[in-house]
Structure 1
Amino acid sequence: MSERTDSTRSGTENDAGAHSPSARLQSLFEGHRLTPTQRRIAHCMVRRAAEVPFLSSVELAELAGVSQPSVTRFAVALGFDGYPALRKHLRETAPSEPATGALANEYQQAVEAEIANLRHLAELLADPEPVERAGRLLAASPTLLVLGLRAAASQAFGFAYFAAKVHPDVRLLDEGGTMLADRIDAAVRAGATTLLCFALPRHPREVVDALAYAKEAGLTVVTVADSAFAPVARHSDLLLPAAVGTGLAFDTACSPMLLGRVLLEAMCDGLPQAQARLEEFDVRAAERGLFVE
Structure 2
Amino acid sequence: MSGASARLLKLFEGHRLTPTQRRIAHCMVRRADDAPFLSSVELAELAGVSQPSVTRFAVALGFDGYPALRRHLREWQPAVAADGAGEGRDGGADGRNAYQQAVHAEIENLRQLAAQLADPAPIAEAGRLLAASRPLPVLGLRAAAAQARGFAYFAAKVHPDVRLLDEGGSMLADRVDAAARAGASALLCFALPRHPRETADALEHARGAGLRIVTVADSAFAPVVRPGDLLLPAAVGTALSFDTACAPMLLGRVLLEAMCDELPDAQARLEEFDARAAERGLFVE
1:276 and 2:285 aligned: no
Structure 2 residue 243 is matched with structure 1 residue 251: yes
* Cα-to-partner distance string for 1:73-126 (whole Å, 9 max, x where unaligned): xxxxxxxxxxxxxxxxxxxxxxxxxxx833431110000000000000000000
Whichever residue aligns with residue 168 of structure 1, its letter is: P
Q: 2:200 is matched by which residue type in structure 1?
A: V
Please give the alpha-carbon distance, in whole angstroms, between the structure 2 residues aligned to 1:204 and 1:284.
Answer: 39
Query: Do residues 117 (structure 1) and 109 (structure 2) align?
Result: yes
Contact 2:177 2:209 in 1 (8 A): yes
TM norm structure 1: 0.67
Matched, 1:157 2:176: no
CA distance in 1, matches of 2:182, 2:227: 22
Alignment of 1:146 with 2:138, yes or no, is yes
Match of 2:257 in 1: 265
- 1:20-99 equivalent positions in 2, closer than 5 A: none
Show the counterpart of 2:129: 137
Match runs of 1:82-231 below 5 Å: 101-231=93-223
Change in Cα spacing, 1:236 to 1:201, as seen in structure 2 (3 Å) is farther
Q: 1:233 to 1:224 in 2, by over 3 A?
A: same
In the TM superposition, residue 65 of structure 1 has moved relative to its aligned partner by 5.2
Counterpart code for 2:206: A
The 1:248/1:272 distance shift into structure 2, 3 A limit, reads: same
CA distance in 1, matches of 2:240, 2:94: 16
Distance in 1 between residues matched to 2:98 and 2:62, nearest whole Å: 26
In structure 2, what residue type is equivalent to 1:273? Answer: D
| Structure 1 SS opposite 2:216 | strand
SS of structure 2 residue aligned to 1:122 = helix
| Match of residue 54 from structure 1 | none
TM norm structure 2: 0.68
Cα-Cα RMSD:
1.9
| Residues in 1 aligned to 2:121 and 2:261: alpha-carbon distance in whole angstroms | 13
Equivalent position amino acid for 1:205 in 2: R
For the 8 Å contact 1:103–1:109, the answer to whether it is kept is no
Q: Structure 2: where are the runs of 5+ without partners?
A: 1-13, 17-57, 65-91
**Are the counterparts in 1 of residues 15 and 61 from structure 2 also a CA contact under 8 Å?**
no
Counterpart position of 1:287: 279
User: Are 1:146 and 1:172, in contact at CA under 8 Å, matched by a contact in 2?
Assistant: yes
Larger Rg: 2
Distance 1:218 1:166, change over 3 A: same
> Gaps (5+ residues) in structure 1?
1-42, 46-61, 69-99
